[in-house]
Amino acid sequence: MVSSKEVHAFIRRDPVLFASLVLALLSMLLVPPSAGYADYIDVRTLAILMCLMVSVAGISSTGAFDALARGFLGRSRGIRSLVFVLVGLPFILSMFITNDVALLTFVPFAILVLTLAGRRDLLVPVTVLQTLAANLGSMLLPFGNPQNIFIASHYDVGLPDFVITTGVIVLVGAVVLVLMALRVHDGPCEVSLADGQEGVDRRRLGFFTVLFAVCVLAVLRLVPYQFVLVLVVVLTLVVRPRTLVGIDWGLLLTFVFLFVFAGNLASLEAVSGSLGDLMRWDPVVASAVVSQFISNVPATVMLSNFTEDWAGLLAGANIGGFGTPIASMASIITLRIYSREEDADRGRFLRFFMVTNVIMFVILLTASLIH
């Protein structure tokens, strides 16, 4: 028998997974389980996402990300320069390692650096700007975030078409992000990161980098995803089996629940008709608004049932990642990490988060509609 304390601990530990489970269970009340549920699950997307998570976790375990960050930070000449580095890292690397992984890697690192620099007063603006940066940078490429992986896979979108659709939005967002970062007051930065620095395991780095490249080929449909899945699992078991244990299996399970939820909703005539009308009216606005309430990943999965306009869905779902804290699952990651700090001011975090996200949402949506 599961106690209430265990349930509460589960909710606190992974609220997004719990919410997706509740949504799936509620949808089952409307559409009883059947063999048709199997058609809801996008196996290709799940397989590619898992392979990317394994390869990125392997690269992270080599110390490469830490060494890269230390190299950039060693060249910082003041607080503002430091902030630009801390925000720039997740912006750039989220294009390749997904926004979730970028934040899991660099938010804790930013907290460490700002603590060493004696500037914990900057934890809220820096971690929020990192979240904006990761969500923005991850828009550019097909493997930058879960919804991009799904859209590229589901609609068979080529890389050039994908970048053309997202490039202008990312460029506009980058300008806004820079202007926000410039509002941080400059000052001297005296922080040494030499102590405790470890070397990079270059052999393992090369191995997992090759695996990551193969995963990218699967995203671009140049290599069968089934082959890549077997290759990644078998080789990782041989080289570093604990990498498979350490990835975020909860995220994959969250996707399964969301596929069930979206599939059940799409099968309801009333919901299908309303969402279909919204997507026919304006897929960008519709997907951006729906994302505010159920997160852009499940919104993407659900709304894909009602449109063939992948470009509109892609732009809207990514823009929809800005706004409310639940609009993007990556934002939940930052909030969870920051909330664990003893001096965390959740109220201040949420206020700063909402102001900056609403500004970014309005500007990007306007730019997308004009473009």
- CA 245 to CA 58: how far, in whole Å? 11
Q: Encoding tokens for residue 20?
A: 């997706």
Asked whether residue 178 carries a pLDDT value surpassing 90, the answer given is yes
Closest CA to 147 of 311, 284, 297: 297
Asked whether residue 141 carries a pLDDT value surpassing 60, the answer given is yes
**How does residue 73 score in pLDDT terms, banded at 50, 70 and 90?**
low
Note the pLDDT tens digit of each residue in 352-362.
999 999 999 99
- CA 60 to CA 102: how far, in whole Å? 10
- CA 131 to CA 134: how far, in whole Å? 5
Closest CA to 133 of 164, 113, 105: 105
Asked whether residue 164 carries a pLDDT value surpassing 80, the answer given is yes
**How does residue 236 score in pLDDT terms, banded at 50, 70 and 90?**
very high
**How does residue 286 score in pLDDT terms, banded at 50, 70 and 90?**
very high
**How does residue 75 score in pLDDT terms, banded at 50, 70 and 90?**
low
pLDDT score of 162 = 93
Averaged pLDDT for residues 79-90: 90
Averaged pLDDT for residues 145-158: 88
pLDDT score of 234 = 95
Percentages helix, strand, coil for the chain (3-state, rounded to 5) are 75, 0, 25
- CA 185 to CA 187: how far, in whole Å? 7
Averaged pLDDT for residues 288-299: 84
According to DSSP, residue 253 is labeled: H
Q: What percent of the chain has pLDDT over 70?
A: 90
pLDDT score of 256 = 87
- CA 49 to CA 57: how far, in whole Å? 12
- With both helix axes pointing from N to C terminus, report the angle between 329-339 and 15-30 in degrees, rounded to the nearest 10: 140
pLDDT score of 297 = 83
Q: What percent of the chain has pLDDT over 90?
A: 35
- CA 368 to CA 171: how far, in whole Å? 11
**How does residue 248 score in pLDDT terms, banded at 50, 70 and 90?**
confident
Rounded (10°) CA dihedral 94, 156, 279, 269: -120
Note the pLDDT tens digit of each residue in 188-235.
666 555 554 567 888 999 999 999 889 888 877 789 999 999 999 999
Asked whether residue 60 carries a pLDDT value surpassing 90, the answer given is no
- CA 58 to CA 237: how far, in whole Å? 12
Averaged pLDDT for residues 291-297: 82
Averaged pLDDT for residues 87-100: 89
